Amino acid sequence: MAETPLESRYPGERLGLPATGSGSVARVGRRIGALAIDWACAVIVSVAFFAYDSLATIAIFALVQIVFIPTLGGSPGHRLLGMRLVRLGGSWVGVWRPIVRTLLLVLVIPAVVWDPDQRGLHDKVVGTVLLRA
């Protein structure tokens, strides 16, 4: 049976990315781990400086995403777990993409709705993909 163009054998194949290794789509475990690291850091700062204010925690988390994605290619959690965020095609994400992506990420729903390439709606909207570094 012939494979249709919409089907793929692995996440990222439709995007022209390798199945494994550097440049492949970052898998769920790494993504959740990076989110946990970034959130834990935001909670620690929130506890230390804002008596654990939930809005402060979200604001700190968002600020870290917005600052570190365009400057380091990913949040601290992404980088610690060997990932980087790029535009489709591999170029720099710029400044506005991390802002829009983060606003959608803190809404949660766009981040838990994925396509077959394991890209959340927050990444699809801004044209980015989280890759293994």
Sign of CA dihedral 23, 121, 68, 77: negative
pLDDT of residue 110: 85
Distant-in-sequence, close-in-space partners of 16: CB < 8 Å, separation ≥ 6: none
Q: What is the pLDDT of residue 6?
A: 64
- pLDDT in single tens digits along all 133 residues of the chain: 444 456 789 999 999 999 999 999 999 999 999 999 999 999 999 999 999 999 999 999 999 999 999 999 999 999 999 999 999 988 999 999 999 999 999 998 888 899 999 999 999 999 999 999 9
pTM to 2 decimals? 0.90
| Residue 90 pLDDT | 86
pLDDT, position 89: 87
Query: Tell me, what's the pLDDT at 5?
Result: 54
- List of residues 6+ apart from 130 with CB closer than 8 A: 25, 26, 31, 74, 78, 83, 84, 85, 119, 123
For residue 12, the SS3 value is coil
Q: How do the domains of the chain map onto residue ranges?
A: 28-132
